[in-house]
Chains A and B, each alone.
Chain A
Amino acid sequence: AQSVSQHNHHVILSEAASLELGCNYSYGGTVNLFWYVQYPGQHLQLLLKYFSGDPLVKGIKGFEAEFIKSKFSFNLRKPSVQWSDTAEYFCAVLYAGNMLTFGGGTRLMVKP
């Protein structure tokens, strides 16, 4: 069965630190890749997505992610985090058959 792994369950950073959250998936075929974010008390919302083309994709609020096909990875990055980035981040993969599979999530806490 297809799976999505997020290696870091909890991350604590100080403001202005750089962020990288790991995401790996198991399927070797065509995939579409997403990062979702859930801010405290809010709905899940899309941060960015990759379908094809440039493997470096930019999303909202200064986030970006790089698709590395050979490593089955889609890591999320931000050069300088802010307190308002405190949230839970979910990597998700859309496999053939249209079923979106989520990773277990990473809770990010940014200390002011």
Chain B
Amino acid sequence: EAEVAQSPRYKITEKSQAVAFWCDPISGHATLYWYRQILGQGPELLVQFQDESVVDDSQLPKDRFSAERLKGVDSTLKIQPAELGDSAMYLCASSFRGGTYEQYFGPGTRLTVT
């Protein structure tokens, strides 16, 4: 069964450092999502791509976060500089199209900022 791949699974970084996460969606899925899940809370959408274009990044802290999906396939989420409050699980999801199509989630990257 096809799955969404993410790496790394765990990342520890010091504050003010740069960190990057990678996501490979299910083949053929045009829509890709990045979520942040703080411990004890539900996932919060950071950015949504349709192919290589950003559809929604209204919740992305653009002063330090950036996301790209250059070829419309895999995607990278970057944080620079990392802050203590960025410690969270970063989830990637993909769907065939946006809207009501089911989102399939990856295992996530757990980030700890020290």
The chain A residues found within 8 Å of chain B, CB to CB, are: 4, 6, 9, 32, 43-46, 49, 51, 90, 92, 94, 97-105
Q: Is B25 in the interface zone, CB < 8 Å from A? A: no
Contact B55 A98 (CB under 8 A): yes
* Binary interface encoding of chain B residues 85-114 relative to chain A, with 1 for a CB under 8 A from any of its CBs, else 0: 000000101000011101111111000000
Chain A interface: which of B14-22, B41-49, B71-79?
B41-49
CB-CB < 8 A to B91: which residues of A? 44
The chain B residues found within 8 Å of chain A, CB to CB, are: 3-4, 33, 40-45, 48, 55-56, 91, 93, 98-100, 102-108
Whether A99 contacts B102 in the complex (CB less than 8 A), given A43-B107, A44-B91, A104-B40, comes out as no
CB-CB < 8 A to A9: which residues of B? 40
Interface centre among B43, B99, B104 (most CB of A within 10 A): B43
CB-CB < 8 A to B48: which residues of A? 98-99
> Cα distance A94–B33 when bound, in Å?
14
Closest CB-CB distance, B69 to chain A, in whole Å?
Answer: 17
> Cα distance A44–B94 when bound, in Å?
12
A-B contact pairs, 18 of them (CB 8 A): A6-B42, A9-B40, A43-B107, A44-B91, A46-B102, A92-B42, A94-B99, A98-B48, A98-B55, A99-B45, A99-B56, A100-B33, A100-B45, A102-B43, A103-B42, A104-B40, A104-B42, A105-B41
Whether A98 contacts B107 in the complex (CB less than 8 A), given A92-B42, A104-B40, comes out as no
CB-CB < 8 A to B55: which residues of A? 98
Q: Which residue of chain B is the closest to A6 with respect to CB atoms?
A: B42
Contact B99 A98 (CB under 8 A): yes
7 closest A-B pairs by CB: A102-B42, A44-B105, A43-B105, A102-B43, A104-B42, A98-B98, A98-B99
